[in-house]
Amino acid sequence: MSDSVWIILTVLVMLAMLGLAFMIEPHWSSKDGNRFICRAQPISLSANAGGGRWREVRGEIKPDGVINLRTRGLISGRKVTGDWRIEARGTTDWRKRVIYILSPTEPDDGPKSAKTLIALRMPGSSRSAPLLERLTS
């Protein structure tokens, strides 16, 4: 009897830890808010192309209002890396995260390429959020 209770308790603790791990989102912001680490996801506007998965990116807000994004890790997300401008501010979710929609600084002129946007997600309490808010207006 006591062995089965310990097994059930262990499984419940492991499921709770897994749930907490998915709720934690990596984020860092420099003291001045110009550099940050957050999540980004490519969004394709073509009808048959899906978006990508959320990737951890490093961002830097340049003085001219351009945001430079670089993916972190060994596997690069080529759709996310580059210079972007803020198009709009998305809605916030129940975790008080803010989503910004970014467009490339150089338009996609390829014959088969659809315009790709980026969804940038970060906590609303980030030090970078006020700087990005100023760029949206």
Per-residue pLDDT for the chain (137 aa), expressed as one digit of tens each? 688 899 999 999 999 998 888 777 778 999 998 999 998 888 877 656 666 788 889 999 999 989 999 887 666 566 678 899 998 888 777 778 889 999 888 765 544 445 778 889 988 888 998 898 888 86
Q: What's the CATH class of domain 26-136?
A: mainly beta
Q: In this predicted structure, what is the pLDDT of residue 51?
A: 66
Radius of gyration (C-alpha) of the chain in whole angstroms: 19
Q: In this predicted structure, what is the pLDDT of residue 111?
A: 43
Q: In this predicted structure, what is the pLDDT of residue 26?
A: 79
Closest CA relative to residue 78, chosen from 100, 108, 33: 108
Q: In this predicted structure, what is the pLDDT of residue 3?
A: 86
Query: Domain map of the chain by residue range?
Result: 26-136
Distances from the Cα of 115 to the Cαs of 42, 90, 129, in angstroms? 10, 18, 25
Q: In this predicted structure, what is the pLDDT of residue 112?
A: 44
Token pair recorded at residue 70: 């670089």
Task: Using DSSP, state whether 18 is helix, strand or coil.
Answer: helix
Say if residues 76 and 70 touch (Cβ distance below 8 Å). no
- CA–CA distance, 98 with 90 (Å, rounded to integer): 7
